[in-house]
Amino acid sequence: MSPRSFLLDDRLNDYVVGHTEPADAVMVRLTERTVALGDPAGMQVGPDQAAFLTMLTRFAGVSRAVEVGTFTGTSALCIARGLVDGGTLLCCDVSEEWTAIARDAWAEAGVDDRIELRIAPGIETLSSLPDDEPIDLAFIDADKSGYLSYYEELVPRLRPGGWIVADNTLWSGTIVDPDNTETATEALRAYNDRAAADERVMTVLLALADGLTVSQKR
């Protein structure tokens, strides 16, 4: 079973998924392997979000993409499939175990030649990126306390018109609970506030999945 938005009950979720581009055999097998991990499987993006990532990547004509937080590779697979011919995706993660599942799926889908995986703290990888190779699309879905640092490294490296998409930014609705002062919740509030106020970008927070904060560089 794929993750679904906390905003949807089962009937509505089934309706949404039933009117969304269906997962192919590779994605189905990847989802099955991810679900077998147990509780961590909740970190996998759902089918509606997966389709959205591929559509956005195609719409934006993405040649160079960066992902922070890869897990078992669903979002990376979706982005890689949407890249223009010759496009590349750099994935940043710290887990050899989970990304081994990702590598298998990427190879099965025939997109492994488009993806570079770096196993290291995301902030180290981002800060080492050159300033003269603009990024078209960045997807953030990693440790919540690091979101704002990742954002500040990525925005200057975006091309004009480039995109940053951050996942889990409604945090199951706790983002608006004043009594919730957990570190992750506070970090996500800070991220959303920064993205909304940042004059370098135009931002919309979408009520898709667990919340997607989408920012486009002016």
Confidence of residue 5 (pLDDT cuts 50, 70, 90): confident
Contact 45, 141 (CB under 8 A): yes
Look up the CATH number of domain 10-217: 3.40.50.150
pLDDT given for residue 30 in this prediction: 98
CA angle 114, 116, 117 (to 5 degrees): 140
Confidence of residue 90 (pLDDT cuts 50, 70, 90): very high
- Report the DSSP pairing between strands 158-167 and 212-217: antiparallel
pLDDT at residue 1 greater than cutoff 60? no
Confidence of residue 27 (pLDDT cuts 50, 70, 90): very high
Whole-model pTM over 0.85? yes
| Rounded Cα distance, 105 and 181, in Å | 37
pLDDT at residue 3 greater than cutoff 80? no
| Rounded Cα distance, 73 and 89, in Å | 12
The stretch 7-33 carries a mean pLDDT of 95
pLDDT at residue 141 greater than cutoff 70? yes
Residues 6+ apart with CB under 8 A from 88: 63, 64, 65, 114, 115, 116
User: Would you list the DSSP string of 99-112?
Assistant: HHHHHHHHHHHT-G
pLDDT > 90: what percent of the chain?
A: 97
To the nearest 10°, the Cα dihedral for 53, 182, 195, 213?
A: 20
pLDDT in tens, 188-200: 999 999 999 999 9
Contact 110, 40 (CB under 8 A): no
pLDDT given for residue 4 in this prediction: 73
Q: Where are the domains of the chain?
A: 10-217
| Rounded Cα distance, 49 and 64, in Å | 20
pLDDT given for residue 43 in this prediction: 94
pLDDT at residue 171 greater than cutoff 70? yes
Mean pLDDT, the chain, integer: 96
